[in-house]
Amino acid sequence: MIAEKTLVAITGAMASAHAMRQINPDVVAAYPITPQTPIMMNFTQFAADGLVDTEVVTVESEHSAMSACVGAAAAGARVMTATAANGLALMHEIVYIAASTRLPIVMSIANRALSGPINIHCDHSDTMAERDSGWIQIFCENAQEVYESTILAMKWAEKENVLLPVMVNQDGFIISHAVENVELLPDDVVKEFVGEHIPHAPLLDVEHPVTYGPLDLYDYYFEHKRQQIEAMKEAEKVFPQIAAELSEITGNEYDFIESYKLDDAEYAIVTLGSSAGTVKYVVDEMRGEGKKVGLLKIRVFRPFPVKRIAEALDGKKAVAVLDRSASFGAEAPIYSEVKSALYTVKERPILQSYVYGLGGRDFTPEHARTAFERLIKGEFFEGEGYLGLRE
Amino acid sequence: MAELKTWKEIPIGGLTEAGSSTRFLTGNWRVERPILNTEKCINCLLCWVVCPDMSIVVEDGKVTGMDLDYCKGCGACAAICPVKAITMEPETKFQR
Ligand code: SF4
Ligand code: SF4
């Protein structure tokens, strides 16, 4: 049954904070960093107002934030945090430890360019640097998706046989600081959806003592990595069920990917994050001009939905893949993975790679239109192109 | 060594049962061995406080020796002792 929702005008950061409030985690440890700061600012206000039972741990760095999260999650707590850019980079070491220790922490990321040169605005270099860390990675197009993805993430992370941490990505400033209409679910509905946290092997269960983080050398490390690989496969397997459960109360669809006017499209753009909204706008415009264009939005980047992407793009004439981060000396990450996903399809489309929006450079409808028009006209080129760069 | 298990047979997250370090004899690492002179010892127990391997054996409030299965020979006990009741001797002296 679809729950009665409350329509509010809030930022993406506030949407994250409301999801956190409704999840009511046992422990939140975080350190402020632009553009994540308003997430924690809003959440700690909720905590100060007594709206949550959360133990808020204000630490001295992001390395400590993730360390405190790992400790609390190992103790048996339901744990959430948030960060961005260099904060995530500073956490990097413990980000891997959280995943390999199988601690279902949910972390909001307000994506921001990694220094240097120093920049506080949106791109995906921060989260892309963590793509092999073993975390599930969700990307959001708008504040509504941020809200619902955060709730979904908590249940997904804690699912038996998954037990993996999840990053919920929202574009820094573009989503985190922009006010949009967001429909919030009632508190009790969210509480019921996420359910009670039953920790896997809590340190505080003194009747069943365990050792966390022992030395793991050539005799077992490989086996533990194989278990993480399996956990990601399991995450992919259980996602549709969790998505369906959330759909039942929100009436919205959740999938690894979103196809927008894609089925009969001959030309497509693949992207993720807020740029998907811009591309949808251009798809609508160009459809009005009779052009057969469509969008494939990737919502879940890890586990990477290879089959879904292959099915969705099989038989398209040409596809442009947009990346909001570069891989120096190699192909940009989303392009590289989409290209690899298409290796086995019957009718492989021509692929073009574009990097856009680095360091918060605006991504405009003209950029999406340029990419589409080049595909339609058959203006293909070697290597990667750049949208919005002064050449 | 015990039979190695497959990835399906071991606990996830690198967890192991608690207290498994007792099966790991760090005494094998020792290059120098602490020798206690009970005549000099005033049983202040400072060595017991600093020993990182819980290898100072205390009975009825008195130090009786070192647990050589786990003592890795760091010398912290000898360094802290206020009356120099512990000396570090090369392990080679004790090998036949
Ligand atoms: S520190 Fe020295 S004097 Fe004190 S208990 Fe140990 S051996 Fe004895
Ligand atoms: S040498 Fe080090 S490990 Fe051995 S008993 Fe002394 S303090 Fe403990």
What is the SS3 string spanning A165-221?
CEEEEEECCCCCCCEEEEEECCHHHHHHHHCCCCCCCCCCCCCCCEECCCCCCCCCH
Task: Measure A212 CA to ligand 2 centroid, in angstroms.
Answer: 25
Q: How far is CA A223 from the centre of its chain?
A: 27
Q: Tell me, what DSSP letter sits at residue B83?
A: T
Q: Is the predicted pLDDT of residue B1 greater than 70, yes or no?
A: no
Cβ–Cβ gap A223/B5 under 8 Å: yes
| Res A217: pLDDT | 94
Three-class secondary structure of residue A81 per DSSP: strand
Q: What would the mean pLDDT of A225-238 be, rounded to a whole number?
A: 98
Identify the closest residue of chain A to B6 by CA–CA distance. Answer: A223
Which pLDDT tens digit goes with each residue over A309-342?
999 999 999 999 999 999 999 999 999 999 999 9
Asked if A307 and A257 count as a contact pair (C-beta separation under 8 A), the reply is no
Residue tagged 């786990």 (tokens): B70
Cβ–Cβ gap A211/B15 under 8 Å: yes
d(CA A349, CA A337): 14
Q: Is the predicted pLDDT of residue B17 greater than 90, yes or no?
A: no
d(CA A343, CA A230): 23
Asked if A317 and A266 count as a contact pair (C-beta separation under 8 A), the reply is yes
Count of C-beta atoms within a 10 Å radius of residue B30: 18
Q: Is the predicted pLDDT of residue A184 greater than 80, yes or no?
A: yes
User: Structural domains in chain A?
Assistant: 6-250 (3.40.50.970), 257-387 (3.40.50.920)
B89: left (phi over 0), alpha (psi -120 to 50) or beta: beta
pLDDT confidence bin for A15, thresholds 50/70/90: very high
ipTM of the complex, rounded to two decimals: 0.89
User: If you take atom 6 of ligand 2, which residue's CA is the nearest one?
Assistant: B77
A274: left (phi over 0), alpha (psi -120 to 50) or beta: alpha
Asked if A172 and A110 count as a contact pair (C-beta separation under 8 A), the reply is yes
> Does the beta carbon of B81 lie inside 6 Å of ligand 2?
no
**Given B5, B6, B14, which is nearest A214 (Cβ)?**
B14
Which pLDDT tens digit goes with each residue over A84-141?
999 999 999 999 999 999 999 999 999 999 999 999 999 999 999 999 999 999 999 9
> Does the beta carbon of B63 lie inside 6 Å of ligand 1?
yes
> Does the beta carbon of B72 lie inside 6 Å of ligand 2?
yes
| Nearest alpha carbon to residue A252 among A142, A140, A136, A148 | A148
Ligand of minimum distance to the alpha carbon of B81: 1
d(CA A304, CA A256): 8
d(CA B51, CA B78): 10
d(CA A71, CA A236): 27
Asked if A135 and A164 count as a contact pair (C-beta separation under 8 A), the reply is yes
User: If you take atom 8 of ligand 1, which residue's CA is the nearest one?
Assistant: B41
CA atoms within 13 A on the CB side of A114: 17
Which pLDDT tens digit goes with each residue over A130-183?
999 999 999 999 999 999 999 999 999 999 999 999 999 999 999 999 999 999
Q: Is the predicted pLDDT of residue A288 greater than 80, yes or no?
A: yes
Would you kindly state where each structural domain of chain B is located, as residue ranges? 26-93
> Does the beta carbon of B55 lie inside 6 Å of ligand 2?
yes
**Given A101, A209, A219, which is nearest B13 (Cβ)?**
A101
pTM: 0.92
Q: How far is A36 from chain B (nearest CA, A)?
A: 29
Answer yes or no: CATH 3.30.70.20 is held by domain B26-93.
yes
Mean pLDDT score of chain A? 98
> Does the beta carbon of B85 lie inside 6 Å of ligand 1?
yes
Identify the closest residue of chain A to B7 by CA–CA distance. Answer: A223
d(CA B43, CA A48): 52
Asked if A88 and A95 count as a contact pair (C-beta separation under 8 A), the reply is yes
| Nearest alpha carbon to residue A369 among A300, A280, A299, A303 | A280
Task: Measure B52 CA to ligand 1 centroid, in angstroms.
Answer: 15
**Given A211, A219, A223, which is nearest B16 (Cβ)?**
A211
Asked if A94 and A42 count as a contact pair (C-beta separation under 8 A), the reply is no
| Res B24: pLDDT | 87
Cross-strand bridge partners of residue A258? A297
> Does the beta carbon of B86 lie inside 6 Å of ligand 1?
yes
Determine the residue of B74, B81, B84, B94 to mutate for testing ligand 2's pocket, defined as the one with the most ligand atoms within 8 A of the Cβ atom.
Answer: B74
Count of C-beta atoms within a 10 Å radius of residue A315: 12
Cβ–Cβ gap B13/A103 under 8 Å: yes
Q: What would the mean pLDDT of A203-224 be, rounded to a whole number?
A: 95
Counting residues of chain A whose pLDDT is more than 90, the rounded percentage is 99
Task: Measure A196 CA to ligand 2 centroid, in angstroms.
Answer: 46
Q: Is the predicted pLDDT of residue A249 greater than 70, yes or no?
A: yes
d(CA A335, CA A338): 5
> Does the beta carbon of B76 lie inside 6 Å of ligand 1?
no
Interface probe, candidates A100, A163, A210, chain B, greatest B C-beta count within 10 A: A210
| Res A318: pLDDT | 98
Ligand of minimum distance to the alpha carbon of B55: 2
Which pLDDT tens digit goes with each residue over B20-68?
888 889 999 999 999 999 999 999 999 999 999 999 999 999 999 999 9
User: If you take atom 7 of ligand 2, which residue's CA is the nearest one?
Assistant: B51
Task: Measure B54 CA to ligand 1 centroid, in angstroms.
Answer: 14
